[in-house]
Structure 1
Amino acid sequence: MQIDYKLLEIRQKTKKILVLLLLLFFGIFIVLFSIYRTVQEKRTLPTLTGEKSELAVRGNIISEDGFNLVSSKKIYKASIDTRYLNPDKKELFMILFSIYSGIDYKTLSEKFKEVDKNPGLLVLSYNIDSRAAKNLRELDIKLNQLNVFIPRKGGSLSLIRRLEVSESGEKRTFSYDDTLTPVLGYIKKIESDSGKTRVEGVKGLERSYNQKLNDVKDGILKGYRDVISYIYFDKNSIMEHRIDGYSLNLNIPLKLQKNNETTLDNHKIRTKADEILLTIMESRTGKIISMASSNRFNPENIKQSDIPYLNVNAIEYQFEPGSVVKPLSISLALDKGVVRKNEYFSAYNQSNVKGAYPFGKFTIKDDHAFPKGNLSIDDIVIFSSNIGTLQIAQRLTGPEFYEGMKKFGFTRKTGIDLPYEKRGVMPKLWQFSVGDKQKRPNIYKATVSFGQGMTSTFIQLIKAYSVFNNDGAMVTPQIVSYLSRNSTKYQSPFFHEPEQVISKETAAEMKRMLIKTVQEGTGRSAKIEGLEIGGKTGTAQIAGGSGYLKKYISSFVGFVNDEKGNSYTIGVTVINPNPIRPHYYAAQSAVPVFKEIIQNLIKLNYLSPKEDITLEN
Structure 2
Amino acid sequence: MWRDYRQKSPTISSINPRLRLFAALIFLLLAAIVYRLYFLQVSQGDWYAALASGQHQISSLLQPVRGKIMLHEKLNGQDQLYPLATNKDFSFLYAVPKDIKNPQDLADKLFDFFDKPELEAKAKRELEAELKNNLQKEIDFINASEYSAEDKAARIKAAQDLALAKKDKADWQEMQEILLERLIKEKREEAIAAYLKKLDKPGDPYEPLREKLDDNTLLSLYAFLSSSTERPVAASDLERRLDKVVFKESGEELKIEGIAFNLQSYRFYPENNMASHIVGFVGMANDKVSGRYGLEEFFNDELAGRAGYLKGERGVSNTIIVNDREYTRPEDGSDLILTMDRSVQFQACSYLEEAVAKFKAEGGSVIAVNAKTGAILAMCSVPNFNPNNYKDVSDIKVYNNPAIIYQYEPGSVFKVITMAAAIDQGKVKPSTTYKDEGQIMIKGWPKPISNSDFSTKGAHGVVDMNAVLENSLNTGAIFAMRQIGAKTFADYVKNFGFGEKSGIELGSESAGNIDNLLKNNIREIDAATASFGQGIAVTPLQMLMSYQALANQGELMKPYIVQEIRHSNGQVDEFKPHPLRQVVSEQTANTILAMLVNVVESGHAKGAKIPGYYIGGKTGTAQVATSGGYSTDKFIHTFIGIVPIDNPQIVMLTKIDAPKGAAYAESTAVPLWHDIADFLLKYYQIPKTRK
Partner of 1:141: none
Partner of 1:69: 84
Does the residue aligned with 2:275 lie in a helix, a strand or coil? coil
Residue pair 2:340, 2:561 contacting (<8 A) in 1 also: yes
Partner of 1:394: 482
Residue pair 1:57, 1:170 contacting (<8 A) in 2 also: no
Residue pair 2:656, 2:669 contacting (<8 A) in 1 also: yes
Partner of 1:156: none
Partner of 2:191: none
Shift of 1:81: 11
Match of 1:529 among 593, 611, 614: 611
Partner of 1:572: 654
Partner of 2:370: 282
Partner of 1:201: 291
Is the alpha carbon distance of 1:200 and 1:495 closer, same or farther for their aligned partners in structure 2, counting shifts above 3 Å?
farther
Q: Which amino acid aligns with 1:315?
A: I
Shift of 1:394: 0.7
Residue 689 of structure 2 is aligned to residue 594 of structure 1: no
Shift of 1:389: 1.4
Shift of 1:584: 2.3
Shift of 1:523: 1.2
Shift of 1:607: 3.2
Residue 579 of structure 2 is aligned to residue 497 of structure 1: yes
Cα RMSD between the aligned structures? 3.7
Residue 186 of structure 2 is aligned to residue 186 of structure 1: no
Partner of 1:332: 421
Shift of 1:121: 6.7
Does the residue aligned with 1:337 lie in a helix, a strand or coil? coil
Partner of 1:148: none
Shift of 1:482: 1.8
Residue pair 1:79, 1:125 contacting (<8 A) in 2 also: yes
Q: Which amino acid aligns with 1:243?
A: E
Deviates more, 1:539-548 or 1:336-345: 336-345
Q: Distance in 2 between matches of 1:295 and 1:77?
A: 30
Shift of 1:186: 2.6
Partner of 2:535: 453
1:353-372 residue pairs with structure 2 within 5 A? 355-360=438-443, 361-367=446-452, 369=457
Q: Which runs of 4+ in 1 moved over 6 A?
A: 74-82, 109-112, 120-134, 164-167
Q: Distance in 2 between matches of 1:129 and 1:295?
A: 25
Residue pair 1:566, 1:606 contacting (<8 A) in 2 also: no
1:182-261 residue pairs with structure 2 within 5 A? 182-189=277-284, 199-218=289-308, 220-232=309-321, 239-261=327-349
1:433-444 residue pairs with structure 2 within 5 A? 433=521, 442-444=524-526
Q: Distance in 2 between matches of 1:170 and 1:367?
A: 57
Using the aligned pairs only, state the percent identity: 27
Is the alpha carbon distance of 1:363 and 1:432 closer, same or farther for their aligned partners in structure 2, counting shifts above 3 Å?
farther
Shift of 1:310: 2.3
Q: Which amino acid aligns with 1:227?
A: V
Q: Distance in 1 between matches of 2:351 and 2:617?
A: 20
Q: Which amino acid aligns with 2:83?
A: N
Shift of 1:257: 1.2
Q: Distance in 2 between matches of 1:358 and 1:122?
A: 74
Shift of 1:223: 4.4
Shift of 1:410: 1.3
Is the alpha carbon distance of 1:122 and 1:388 closer, same or farther for their aligned partners in structure 2, counting shifts above 3 Å?
closer
Residue pair 1:267, 1:593 contacting (<8 A) in 2 also: yes
Is the alpha carbon distance of 1:221 and 1:62 closer, same or farther for their aligned partners in structure 2, counting shifts above 3 Å?
same
Residue pair 1:179, 1:258 contacting (<8 A) in 2 also: yes
Does the residue aligned with 1:465 lie in a helix, a strand or coil? helix
Q: Which amino acid aligns with 1:530?
A: G
Does the residue aligned with 2:278 lie in a helix, a strand or coil? coil
Q: Distance in 1 between matches of 2:448 and 2:213?
A: 69
Match of 2:467 among 379, 382, 394: 379
Residue 202 of structure 2 is aligned to residue 116 of structure 1: yes
Is the alpha carbon distance of 1:399 and 1:215 closer, same or farther for their aligned partners in structure 2, counting shifts above 3 Å?
farther
Is the alpha carbon distance of 1:373 and 1:287 closer, same or farther for their aligned partners in structure 2, counting shifts above 3 Å?
same
Partner of 1:485: 567
Shift of 1:73: 4.2
Residue 512 of structure 2 is aligned to residue 424 of structure 1: yes
Q: Deviations over 1:402-427 (max 9, x none)?
A: 11111111111111222221122224
Q: Which amino acid aligns with 2:392?
A: K
Shift of 1:55: 2.2
Match of 1:320 among 409, 429, 445: 409
Q: Which amino acid aligns with 1:326?
A: K
Q: Deviations over 1:201-237 (max 9, x none)?
A: 222222222232223223x444454322312468x57
TM-score (norm 1): 0.71
Q: Distance in 1 between matches of 2:96 and 2:676?
A: 60
Residue 467 of structure 2 is aligned to residue 467 of structure 1: no
Shift of 1:453: 1.3
Does the residue aligned with 1:171 lie in a helix, a strand or coil? strand
Shift of 1:532: 2.8
TM-score (norm 2): 0.64
Does the residue aligned with 1:292 lie in a helix, a strand or coil? strand
Partner of 1:56: 64
Deviates more, 1:321-330 or 1:251-260: 251-260
Shift of 1:242: 2.5
Q: Deviations over 1:219-277 (max 9, x none)?
A: x444454322312468x576543322222211121222111221112111222211121
Shift of 1:127: 6.2
Residue pair 2:516, 2:522 contacting (<8 A) in 1 also: no
Partner of 1:151: none
Is the alpha carbon distance of 1:603 and 1:49 closer, same or farther for their aligned partners in structure 2, counting shifts above 3 Å?
same
Residue 640 of structure 2 is aligned to residue 560 of structure 1: no
Partner of 2:161: none
In structure 2, runs of 5+ residues without a counterpart are 1-51, 74-80, 102-112, 115-194, 216-238, 245-259
Is the alpha carbon distance of 1:397 and 1:124 closer, same or farther for their aligned partners in structure 2, counting shifts above 3 Å?
closer
Q: Deviations over 1:268-287 (max 9, x none)?
A: 12222111210000011111
Shift of 1:72: 2.8
Does the residue aligned with 1:315 lie in a helix, a strand or coil? coil
Residue pair 1:276, 1:575 contacting (<8 A) in 2 also: yes
Does the residue aligned with 2:507 lie in a helix, a strand or coil? coil
Residue pair 1:417, 1:478 contacting (<8 A) in 2 also: yes
Q: Deviations over 1:82-136 (max 9, x none)?
A: 9xx9x9xx99xxxxxxxxxxx99xxxx989955424x567779876999989658
Match of 2:663 among 584, 593, 600: 584
Q: Distance in 1 between matches of 2:282 and 2:327?
A: 31
Q: Deviations over 1:430-475 (max 9, x none)?
A: 757458xxxxxx2222111011111111111011110111010111
Partner of 1:511: 593
Q: Which amino acid aligns with 1:309?
A: V
Is the alpha carbon distance of 1:80 and 1:54 closer, same or farther for their aligned partners in structure 2, counting shifts above 3 Å?
farther
Q: Which amino acid aligns with 1:319?
A: Y
Does the residue aligned with 2:448 lie in a helix, a strand or coil? strand
Does the residue aligned with 2:483 lie in a helix, a strand or coil? coil
State the aligned residue count.
496
